[in-house]
Structures are given as C-alpha cells and as structure tokens.
C-alpha cells in the first residue's frame, strides 16, 4: 500500500536554528512519536527503534534513516525503512524544505511511504489517517522543541 502526504508548519525560530534541530538526533528522538532509540551511525545515517499503533496492530519497527540531497540550511531528503516483524514493514521518504518567514521559518514537506504485511491489510483510510496524525504530532513536537531550546539558550 502506497501513501502520500504533504504539509506546511510555521516554526517560531530562524531557518538556521530549525536546520540545526532537524540534524540533531537528540531533538528528533524527543519529537518522533513512539521513538525509543535514535542513534547516529554516520553523518548521514541513523538507526531507529519506533513503537507505533495503527488500529489494532501495535508494532516495534527497527530500521535505518538516511539523510541525503543536503542544501543547508534550506532542504534535504530523508529516507528510511523499518521492519515491524509480524506486523509488516514500512519504507519511504520525505523532502523537507525550510524557508524564512516573518515569524521565523516555514517547514514544508512532501512524503511517500509504502507498507506491507498486516498493516497493509488494515485499509488505506485507517493507515493514512494514522500516518497523518503521527506526522502532525511530530511537527507539533518539533515546533515546541525548537521554541523551547531557543528560549532556554537566550
């Protein structure tokens, strides 16, 4: 099953601050819903363990995340794949772009994902709704985290 999503979020910090946070595993770990582990393996690769629930299926995904197509502090591509055991698999990516705005910066993303196994059997509406909810929760957490780090650093 293939999914596509996009969104735009206002961040209350300058683009350079948002860019640094997007490349900080500690910030990302705090923001990703259900993230248990997120460790840098190299400058462009991270290992992750994320627990998520889609309808009646709860799964622990272990996988890798790769960052590419860097254009600091404006954009990059994030790609990943994870294995959730009996629940199935997920893989996909997103293109993330930061632009300056009057209130700080704007983060725009377009993402695509493919899932298989039990998760794919749940139905596209349920899976797509859950994926959008997780994305919205991540960006809400991210906006709060960068705002908090800026106020603590000031």
| Domain ranges for the chain | 2-153
Rounded percentage of the chain residues whose pLDDT exceeds 90: 63
Say which CATH topology domain 2-153 has.
Alpha-D-Glucose-1,6-Bisphosphate; Chain A, domain 4 (3.30.530)
Q: What is the pTM for the complete model shown?
A: 0.86
Orientation of helix 15-22 relative to helix 124-153, angle to 10°: 120
Cα separation, 131 vs 146, whole angstroms: 22
pLDDT (0 to 100) of residue 153? 57
pLDDT (0 to 100) of residue 13? 94
Cα separation, 129 vs 54, whole angstroms: 9
Q: What integer best gives the mean pLDDT of the chain?
A: 91
pLDDT in tens, 47-97: 999 999 888 888 899 999 999 999 999 999 999 999 999 899 989 899 999
Peptide bond before residue 73 is cis, with ω within 30 degrees of 0: yes
């Amino acid at each position: 099953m293939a999914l596509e999503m996009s969104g735009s979020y206002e961040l209350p910090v300058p683009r350079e601050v948002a860019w640094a946070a997007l490349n900080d595993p500690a910030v990302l770990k705090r923001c990703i819903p259900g993230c248990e582990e997120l460790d840098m393996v190299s400058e462009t690769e991270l290992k992750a363990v994320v627990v998520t629930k889609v309808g009646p299926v709860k799964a622990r995904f272990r996988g890798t995340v790769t960052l590419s197509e860097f254009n600091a502090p404006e954009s990059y591509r994030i790609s990943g794949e994870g294995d959730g055991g009996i629940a199935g698999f997920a893989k996909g990516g997103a293109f993330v772009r930061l632009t300056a705005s009057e209130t700080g910066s704007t983060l725009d993303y377009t993402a695509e994902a493919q899932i298989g196994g039990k998760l794919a059997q749940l139905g596209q509406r349920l899976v797509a709704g859950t994926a959008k909810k997780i994305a919205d929760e991540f960006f809400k957490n991210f906006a709060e985290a960068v705002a908090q780090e800026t106020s603590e650093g000031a």
